[in-house]
Structure 1
Amino acid sequence: MRLNVKVLCFFLVIILLIGSFPFKPTSAATKTATVNATSLNVRTEPSSSSKQIGSLKKGSIVTVYKIEKGWANISFQDRKAWVSSAYIKENHSTGSHIPSQKEAKTAKVTATSLNVRSGAGTQYKTVGSLKNGAVVSVIKEEGNWSNITYGSIKGWVSSAYLLNQTGKPSANKPVKSGKWGTVTATYLNFRSSGNLTSPIIGSIKYGTSVQILSESGSWLFIQTSDGKKGWVSRQYITIQTGGSPIVTNPKPATKPPVAPPSSVSKKVVVLSDGVNIRQGPSTAYLIVGNADQGDEFAYLQSKNDWVQIKMPSGKSAWLAGWLVAVQQSPSSPNNPSVPKPSLEGLKGKRIVIDPGHGGNDPGATGKSSGTQEAAMTLMSARLLATELSDAGAKVILTRSDNTYISLNKRVEISHYHFADAFVSLHYNSASDRTATGLLTFYYGQKDLKLANSVNTGLVGAKTGLKGGNVRYGNFHVLRENKQPAVLVELGFLSNPFDESTIKSNSFQTKAAMGITNGLAQYFK
């Protein structure tokens, strides 16, 4: 019995000693997979009916978090997303594999200055930057991001600004085309990446000549004569070969497909991309065409929530009234031309426009006709973006469709682009239905001058609502923002008069012009 006790004590001591060593469990290797479909849709939820937020090309390598019911939860850009697991093949590896220099692809940086980040997304911190022309080793690709090394710099960069040296483009940045083209749309949006979900960073006018740096499917990566770069839809560019030099606004070979005659008293301006043109004033009528933001038509009449337009062919058609703005033509006697203040100070300025709310956060709702704040802020932001781009500013929208963007992400976009000004657009609501008017909020001393200038511009625009109030506001997008920032409340949806005024095209146009004039004065 004594022996047994001694033996037990001995083993107990051994177990305690072993447990005291700082052993660490081996971390499971990150699971990766390769896309084996030609083009694989990426969605927000594990369902084919959920919203598509992008696509992956064959051969793309993705990080897989889990697989359930035929769907794979993956890392895509700066979020988690879902793809059909039938079209990916798991990479069987016991650990991460870093290719040798012989295996690694090389690519050249095409941006003036390209940020290198600690992870595949704009939410990760910057760990360095690369100059134009730098040749990097591409270790792997994930969505629209590339893991690279350059000397002692290691991290992730946007694949849109890499040109593969082996002759095959990296992600959506294909081989340099040596072509140039002419814009055929009245206003053409250009985006940060070649897909409709990426942010609009500016717009260019009809007739502008652009250099085509690269091509990817239905998208072109272009550069204007003043150095602006971005992705545009191929269908609105007439392409010519031969590497001709850029000529600013050459005489176009054909007239723009959508432009109202100068004699009409009103014109209809489309506020969104991909708007259906129908035979009649209802979604029950057949679609006869489509229009994009900035397209213009001659106005014929309004019926309920629909607007009848005159097509370039001379035929009439209908557009949804909530997706367009009806404006007085400059030649109309009811709208005499008023000299605009100088907008010279806006040229080259980086301005982030933040349409408040969106997606599962609709914001305030109008008491009289149910107007939703999220829809109104997006419409106002698009009008403002067009005004600012027309004045030469570089405009970045925090959201360009009805999607939810977190407050942190909105501030990150401001920091990422080193915004010269950040303008958050909202519509107010109060339990007191008599509350009315425009308000402009600031947080810190760095914001006060901007708030006063924007407020002055709005008051001068004579929108039809009371204004003139500049107030301190402890809002996240102002408080956490390192760049000059303001939050503008463009009237009260809880007030019946304000709500009806806000919905008018006159108000929307004047508000956009007022903020533009205020920003121009601020930079002046």
Structure 2
Amino acid sequence: MSVKGLNQLKVFLKKNYINIILLVTIVVGLVSTYTVAMSNVVTIKAKVVNVRTGPMLSYNVMAQLKEGDQIQILEQKNGWDKIRLDGDKIGWVADWLLDSSEIDSATNATGVVNTSGVNIREYANTQSKVLNRLEKGTKVNIVYTKGDWSQITMDGKIGWINNKLFDLTNDEQEKAQTKVYVLRPTINLYQEANPNSHVLATSKQDDQLEVVGSVGDFYQVKNGKNIIGYVSRQLVTTEIPNTGAEQAQEAARPRSLAKATIVIDAGHGGDDPGAQANDNRHYEKNFSLLYAKELRDQLQTKGTKVVMIRNKDSWVSLEDRVKITNKNQPSAFISLHLDSSKSANEASGITTYYYSEKKDLKLAKTLASQFNGLKIPNRNTNFGNFEVIRENDYPGVLLEIGYINSDSDFAQIRSDSYRQQFISRVVLGLESYFK
């Protein structure tokens, strides 16, 4: 380079020193951010991995991952990885399954113990605690395998057994049968795992179906006429219907708010902010708590016994929310939330979610009927597979008060007068429910 060219370069660098430094900083930051983001991305090596609604085997399967799928791990907890699926759905996978082959429990693979005095262990190693001993010929249900070990279920308990100590059987007569029961008045059995496919048959509420397999969000089932088809997992339950218990629960329902116990659940909290308003400054957790406190105050003036899941900005796990609810044996359970759509101002309305038609629907309909005429439109009732209403044993609903990322809804939600009006409608609905 000539002396003149070198001098020109020096002048350019001197004039643009700050810009160059900023550009380098931005590039380095972007690379670092990308590296951090990608550091939690893993590729599934197993043939199939179940994604569950929570970090335990007892949670329902909500989806399945296949070999080659890429997922981003958001959080790790007790050997489970929290991941994000398409459509912003959150699920959990067992981290030990990411590079092994899982046998879906819905296939009910059966093993027969081939040696006497076989130890069932707490973990997949010979040093872990012995949970039980099995004799030769004992049948066990194989959940999945990890290297030389398999996890089994037997008599409702879970443990590990070395693969050398049992033999798999393909005899259909020896496979443990899983039963599910219809939750809705009627449901369709589809030819394929797709609600748009041909309907083979219908089943009525409480009908018993035999599970023979699963595909994604569908069970493959056989009905009493030996017709095999697919049903949505959300429309059936493994719980055996107990009409007598339900009648007793109805008879025990108090006939006034003054004699009722209400558990109020303010959604989210603590490190879990929930949905966010369009101004990026207001969060669902704060408003769910405001509405929960308003409901508490109005109910207490009626003489109602109120149990609050949280009274402050604190995090409570979904599992603990259910435990608190069942421990207090409430007359009703109310979970308060704010909805959110993918795009700002895309949706509006109040939705009252229920899980069980027998347990929850009457309460849901009674409450939803009170929300007509408010400044936020009423979307009425809808089925919702939410843990806090799915797992609790008492009548409950999850109320989406409105859309936090709808400017029109949020203008009402943040108003003190609207909050008082909305909660007064909830109280009127509860009064009607307990008459």
> What TM-score range do you get, normalising by the shorter chain?
0.3 to 0.5
Q: When you count helix as a share of all residues, which structure comes out higher?
A: 2
TM-score by length of 2: 0.40
